[in-house]
Amino acid sequence: MTGAGGPRPAGAVPRAVTRLLLAAVLLQLGWHALAPKPSAQSQNLPAPPAAMLLQIASLGDSIALAKILMLWLQAHDVQPGGRASFLDLDYRRATGWLDRILTLDPASRYPLLAASRLYGTVPAPRKQRHMLEFVYQRFLDDPERRWSWLAHAAILARYRLNDLPRSMRFAQAIRERATGDEVPDWARRTPVVLLEQSGELDATRILIGGLLANGLITDPHELNFLERELQRLEAASQGQRDDAAATWEDAS
């Protein structure tokens, strides 16, 4: 038991109080998500609550709350009156929410998947750089589990931003820091090779194919997303080949 002036453990907080806090958080999220608005604007994404408040609100199940918040955040661009682009979001707030979700569930890689493959692909260089740097900073916290999303960030920096120094910095970080036994040897070599020798479609397709083939992704949401992304890339690549063939036939 702590002294009169010492901090009290979270378990000592009356259950009624924690339920009230959880209700307040969910009410805030529900209001912003469901209140009718003519369109989704960047300021409509609320600032994330303090990490401690979310921990208390989780009632001891932080992983479940992290999943709920991730689904809510990913669906935030769906608003009454139309679908807003990720381009309209306040990216500082978006990374704030992703950061809170990772704090609740550090083992989850889905927030970094969203950061690199959803939010990181918007046609806005400043926002892209902000999101890719977020992936890089959170990679440094746990390189062994987060290297794959930094590899995606490296490809985007190279081909969407045309920022070779940034992309090579990301790739070099994977080579130097993701050195545990759980990281396959090809993963430490592949990012640099892809950046030097492949186009964006081929580089992303090879990376995703390697992740799926080696069983490195086990979360059902991540698997579903990457499988759809791989199918999209294959279709895009086939479309490019068909266009090239049609052009050749017309020329001949």
CA angle 231, 243, 238 (to 5 degrees): 20
Distances (CA, A) of 183 to 110, 148, 159, 211, 239: 18, 10, 25, 11, 34
- Summarize pLDDT for 108-134 with one digit per residue, the tens: 888 998 998 888 888 899 999 999 999
Question: Is 4 a residue whose pLDDT tops 50?
Answer: no
pLDDT, residue 28, reads 55
pTM of the model: 0.68
| Cross-strand bridge partners of residue 49 | none
Percent of the chain with pLDDT over 90: 21
pLDDT, residue 23, reads 55
| Cross-strand bridge partners of residue 178 | none
- Summarize pLDDT for 57-108 with one digit per residue, the tens: 888 889 998 988 988 887 776 554 444 567 778 899 999 999 999 999 999 8
pLDDT, residue 117, reads 83
- Summarize pLDDT for 140-184 with one digit per residue, the tens: 999 988 988 898 898 889 888 989 889 889 988 988 898 888 777
Q: Which among 126, 123, 59, 56 has a CA at the least distance from the CA of 91?
A: 126
Amino acid at 92: R
Q: Which among 95, 121, 108, 122 has a CA at the least distance from the CA of 62?
A: 108
